Amino acid sequence: MSSEELAGQTEQEESMAAAAKLVAAAKNIVVLTGAGISAESGIPTFRDAQTGFWAKYRPEDMASQTGYRANPTMVWRWYEYRRELVAKVEPNAGHYALAAFEKSHKSGTFTLVTQNVDGLHRRAGSADVLCLHGNLNTQSWLDTPKDCCHLDHAEAGDPPHCDRCGNLVRPAVVWFGEALPYRVLDAAQKASEACDLMLVVGTAGAVYPAAGLALLASRMRAKVIIVNTAPSELDDAADLIVRAPATVALPWILGAGQKSLPLTKYSETPS
């Protein structure tokens, strides 16, 4: 191991130890996760998944009401493809560390907020997850449902639809131009205002209003810890930055797994 690698490992160890102390001293904790933690399970980000046949389409065509209405079959099949990708992977050590910490944290509140739609947090055992951008594996109606619209009895197809009025089933995710679910966002904002520590994991901090939660917590004088393999747009708001992947950092910081995991200096690749 080179002197540079040794220095990087030491820096990781020191930052994770400092983060562990802050978490241990905190009462009301919020965790905000982004695409980086899912990428460590092998799930490509939305744009990275557009390879092969799907590379010729714009993201806006695959994630907007306009795109869906223009070509519902194509968009539905794209989401079926993404569901297949998610079904092939498992939650990682970072997901499991968060789930274990949620169960063990009895001294205050713990709120897990995610920008991810893959459902891996729940599969890992996290009970209460605020999904800001919805869930890839659940469905809703494209138009306001009528009395005849029942998801359990939707007519099969690409996409499924109401056999009476023709209303289309859609993925229950937030598309471009749509507002985040009010109750979920409101709960996340209230938790961010009340927390004394926020742990931001695997997000570039470029998508709002999700990224604004970390800034809100900082304004309310909460400690902000960022765990990411590369710089993010929220680094200036951080009290501590842990430059490591979630699978290494979270078991260490949260004390939910082995604290002797291999430490590696990671490249500056945005998550």
Task: Just list the catalytic residues.
Answer: 133
User: Measured between alpha carbons, how far is 29 from 69 in angstroms, rounded to an integer?
Assistant: 41
- CA dihedral 133→206→21→263, nearest 10 degrees, is 100
Q: Are 112 and 98 a contacting pair, CB within 8 Å? A: yes
Q: What is the rounded end-to-end Cα distance, in angstroms, of the chain?
A: 26
Q: Within a 10 A sphere around the Cβ of 213, how many other Cβ atoms?
A: 26
- Cα angle vertex 187, ends 183, 188, to 5°? 120
**SS3 per-residue string spanning 167-210:** CEEEEEECCCCCCCCHHHHHHHHHHHHHCCEEEEECCCCCCCCC
Would you list the DSSP string of 87-138?
Answer: HT----HHHHHHHHHHHH--SS-EEEEES--S-HHHHHT-S-EEETTEEEEE
Classified as helix, coil or strand, 164 is coil
Q: Are 194 and 28 a contacting pair, CB within 8 Å? A: yes
User: Measured between alpha carbons, how far is 162 from 140 in angstroms, rounded to an integer?
Assistant: 11
User: Measured between alpha carbons, how far is 16 from 2 in angstroms, rounded to an integer?
Assistant: 21
